[in-house]
Amino acid sequence: MSSTLTSEFRKQTRGSVDLVVKNARLLLESGATRGGIGVSNGRIVVIASDEHLPDASEVIDVDGKILMPGLIDAHAHIHDPTMLDHEDFTTGSMAAAAGGITTIIDMPLTNQVDSIKDVEEKISQGESMSVIDFTFYAGMMNSQNVGMIHALIEKGIGAFKTFTCEPYETNKGVIAKCLSEVSEYGGHLTVHAEDQGILDEFAKEMDGDWDAPISHSLARPNIAEDLAVRSCIDIVEQTGGHLHIAHVTTREAILEIEKARLRGNMVTTEVCPQHLVFFRDDMNRLGPKSKLNPPLRAKEDRAALWSALLRGSIDMVASDHAPCPIEKKEAGLGDIREAWSGVDGTQMILRVLLSEGINRGRLSLSRLLRVGSRNAARIFGLYPKKGVLRVDSDADFVIIDQTKEEKITTDMMFSKCGWTLYDGMTMKGVPVMTFSRGLKVYNEGQITGKPGHGRFQAMGSGNRPDGE
């Protein structure tokens, strides 16, 4: 650790703290360095070289492993009161903790969250059930609830979801109104961007071919995403506000987002781990489990996603975690249209970034920090309380063994669904311990935190990180 950094924090290292983690490779905003942290009352109070760390009630020597801010999963469907057989705050947050995630942003699945009562009920449910901290989206936004945006922002719900396609398709007028409202009050509008007209027409060409899972992807071509992204960008150029494109999957959509940013628009985006690992030709092998929206794309799109992630055109990796009981997937064995659309993912984000990114030379450690933690905290108004290692930030962090190999099995997964799209894969790079506000909630394959530890986190207005 540099002498400047040590000197800066030396005055804060007197006395005793609750926890010291030492002999770590710290991923700070300024870069990677050797040292450790001290934690008291759930917050980081010391960052220093090992010799300047204070005494502590508990000391953990991590033997040179990486210590980075806990990840933020900014798109997960973990608690819908009408679909608790899929996932709930307890099982979903356990899966997240096992993946090095310390804050999860839940998104509506089928049940509307668009009133003060809905928000208060969901906060209560989360704070009684979640193992880690959480916040959540309002939605799905439509012409009836767009007027609630200001009131919901006042309650700490700063993110709103809408669709340009079924099952929650809305029109351009609603999107324009939503963007105008979030522009005035400091929120964020996230759009699932696929053009419904394109989907309708291409689906007609699949008649008689729905027994092949790949038909689901062929019926939802790149152009559907490209046109919808372009349309939403056209609107935000007129209204202002923060437009966030959910789960980008195509090279064409990335180009549209890059051009929009060059014109000064506040447009951010995310990619999902499943789109970084699998591609369209895997679908017939994987079967109905691989059905999701947007679908798996071509190899060229997957390569474009990795490239955009490295250079900063994609801001974050989010799971779109939306698993289901296996029978809802198996319903599509003869007709892919009958299968549930959605896969697991929250436990896999960091593993994918380490194994397929860091260890394959597709990603740097500095980008890992940004796309896993810091950018989501900045964009969704949680920074610097979350997303960074900084004095006075919450002591949310994960310990990583970059060289450890791990075979993914259903037995190691904490999701309620009982299956994983990654079953049988061997990955290199493993989260071994996760801490939420100084409490160890995951340790070497075991959940050590308890439901009810998690606390609701109000969103601020957020912004796109400078230089990203």
Mean pLDDT throughout 77-99?
Answer: 97
One domain for residues 334 and 419: no
pLDDT at 1: 40
Count CA within 13 A, CB hemisphere, residue 444. 1
Q: If pLDDT is split at 50, 70 and 90, which confidence band does 174 have?
A: very high
Q: Residue 445 has which token pair?
A: 């394959």
Helices (H) and strands (E) in the chain, counts: 16, 17
pLDDT at 427: 97
Q: Is 444 left (phi over 0), alpha (psi -120 to 50) or beta?
A: left
One domain for residues 267 and 316: yes
Q: Using CA of residue 272, residue 277, residue 279, residue 283, what is the dihedral sign?
A: negative
Active-site residue numbers? 320
Count CA within 13 A, CB hemisphere, residue 245. 33
Q: Report d(CA 454, CA 134) in Å as an integer.
A: 7
- Give per-residue pLDDT as tens, 349-369: 999 999 999 999 999 999 999
Environment class of residue 361 by beta-carbon count within 10 Å: exposed (0-12), middle (13-18) or buried (19+)?
A: exposed
Q: If pLDDT is split at 50, 70 and 90, which confidence band does 271 have?
A: very high
pLDDT > 90? residue 115: yes
Q: Report d(CA 440, CA 132) in Å as an integer.
A: 10
Domain range for 29 is: 3-68+392-447
Mean pLDDT throughout 289-307?
Answer: 98
One domain for residues 375 and 415: no
One domain for residues 268 and 404: no
Provide the H-helix boundaries in 186-245. 196-204, 215-218, 222-239
pLDDT at 208: 79
Average pLDDT, the chain: 94
- Give per-residue pLDDT as tens, 326-354: 999 999 999 999 999 999 999 999 999 99
Q: Report d(CA 439, CA 130) in Å as an integer.
A: 14
One domain for residues 191 and 314: yes
Contact 306, 279 (CB under 8 A): no
- Give per-residue pLDDT as tens, 409-419: 999 999 999 99
One domain for residues 19 and 117: no
Tell me, yes or no, whether 467 lies in a domain: no
Domain tally, the chain: 2
pLDDT at 462: 65
The CATH number linked to 64 is 2.30.40.10
- Give per-residue pLDDT as tens, 194-226: 999 999 999 998 877 899 999 999 999 999 999
Tell me, yes or no, whether 462 lies in a domain: no
pLDDT > 60? residue 255: yes
Tell me, yes or no, whether 468 lies in a domain: no
Q: If pLDDT is split at 50, 70 and 90, which confidence band does 461 have?
A: confident
- The pTM assigned to this predicted structure is 0.95
